[in-house]
Amino acid sequence: MLYSHAGPEIAVASTKAYSVQLAALYMIGCRMALTRGAFNEEEAKAFTRELLEAVPAMKKMIAQESRIKSLVRHLVREQDTFFIGRGLDYAFSLEGALKLKEISYIHAEAYAAGELKHGTIALITDDVPVIAIATQESIFAKTISNVREVKARGAYIILLTKENASVEEGVADDLIQIPSLEDRFTVFPIAVILQLIAYYASVGKNLDVDQPRNLAKSVTVE
């Protein structure tokens, strides 16, 4: 099973590793900030509390898997899928594109939304799926402007954003909203959505989710 709640994970395209390593890095960063004086005790405790709030947020997204399964039908019919985002959202997009091509064999690429006009927007054609991530409040309006650009060129938009975000009707074909966490922690529920999208795309194509072709659980050669 690609996404398991507990116990060993046998899938080559590991989902736990991404989230667990990020959580570990966040905790290391918090400890370093405390040691260096960038955080005081209260700030470190607040950071940890906010990190733990990602857990129920992830569970909430897992509960939406039936809806995610239904919207993935459009991806299964297409040869290409593009992911766009700015800042941290672009980093999240890289994981989404990797997982999708790893297990569904759909050509998927992530692009920085702010750089679309430098050439990559030429790849947008009618009905091509574009998964847009817009969770960072300081650049939300700019990302939505980029979404409108690709939508105007015929793209099929799946928009991932926060529950409290104001999204005008018609901007996206499908909208998935995550709990309103601090911007730096939105990666955790977003990761669940992206991994479920990849999972159901693979299932929809009747592929072996756990054992994608040419991949091994660990790298053994250089």
Domain-wise residue ranges, the chain:
16-52, 60-204
Tokens matching residue 133: 């991530």
- Is pTM beyond 0.85 here? yes
Tokens matching residue 108: 């998927």
Which residues fall within 8 angstroms of residue 219, CB to CB, at 6 or more apart? none
User: How large is the average pLDDT for residues 13-27?
Assistant: 87
CA 217 to chain centre: 22
> Amino acid identity, residue 94?
L
In whole angstroms, what is the distance from residue 64 CA to residue 62 CA? 5
pLDDT band at 156 (very low <50, low <70, confident <90, very high): very high
Question: pLDDT for 66-97, tens place per residue?
Answer: 999 999 988 999 899 999 999 999 999 999 99
Query: What percentage of residues in the chain have a pLDDT greater than 90?
Result: 78
Superfamily of the domain at 60-204 = Glucose-6-phosphate isomerase like protein; domain 1 (3.40.50.10490)
Instruction: Give the side-chain half-sphere CA count within 13 A for 161.
Output: 25
Q: Name the H helices within 7-87.
A: 16-36, 41-52, 54-62, 65-71, 73-76
Residue 34 pLDDT greater than 70, yes or no: yes
